[in-house]
Amino acid sequence: MRHLLLAGLLALFPALPAVAEGVRVAAPAGYCIVREPGTGPGLVLMGRCAGVTDRPPAVLTATVGVPGSGIDVARRGQDLAAYFQSAAGRKALSASGRADSVQVLEALGRGKAFLIRIRDRSRGAPPESWRAVLTLNGRMVTLTASGTGKAPLGRENGKRLMVSFVDAMEAANR
C-alpha cells in the first residue's frame, strides 16, 4: 500500500528533485525519479513517467561525486575529449569495463557541460547512449540517457533528451 501511495505522489509531483550527496537531482519534463539515493554513492535512477506518451522511453541516471570532485568542464573540454577517446576513458564508459567495447561517436561542449554519445557493444548494454559530465555545487555529476531494448534512442532524440536533462539539473541547483 505504501508503494502505491508513493507512486501516486510521484505521478502528481514528477518534477520534485531528489537530493544526492548535496546536489538536487531533477529529471527532464516527462520523466520521473524511480529510485532515490540511499546511503550509497549518490546514484538516482529515472524513467518516463506513467501515462506519458509524447516522450521517448528512456532510462536516465545521475551519479554525484564527493565534495571537491568537480572540475571546470567548460575550460577542460579538450582534456575531457582526449580522456574519453583514450583506453582509460573508454573503459570508464563501458558497461563491461572493457575499452575495446566502446566507440565514442561524438564529444562536444555545451555551456558548462560536456556531452558524449557512445556505442557500447558490451553484453546487455544499450547500443547507443548519451553521457554528460558537469559540475554542480563543487561535485562532479555524470548523467546518462539511453533507450530501452525495444526502443533505442536515436541520435537527435538522445541529444535533445540529454540537453533537457542537463538543463533540468542546472536549474535545480541554481
Q: CA distances (Å), 124 to each of 35, 94, 120, 121, in order?
A: 21, 11, 9, 8
Give pLDDT tens digits for 94-151.
Answer: 999 999 999 999 999 999 999 999 999 998 888 899 999 999 999 999 999 999 878 8
Domain limits, the chain: 2-172
The span from the CA of 126 to the CA of 30, in Å, is 21
In tens, the pLDDT along 41-71 reads 578 899 999 999 999 999 999 998 888 889 9
- Rg of the chain over CA atoms, in angstroms? 16
Q: Largest Cα–Cα distance in the chain? A: 51
> 2-172 domain in CATH 2.40.160?
no
pLDDT above 80 (res 4): no
Question: pTM of the full predicted structure?
Answer: 0.85
Statement: residue 72 has pLDDT above 90: yes
Confidence of residue 18 (pLDDT cuts 50, 70, 90): low
Residue 31 exposure: Cα atoms within 13 Å on the Cβ side: 28
Per-residue exposure over 12-24, b if at least 16 CB sit within 10 Å of its own CB, e if not: eebeebbebbebb
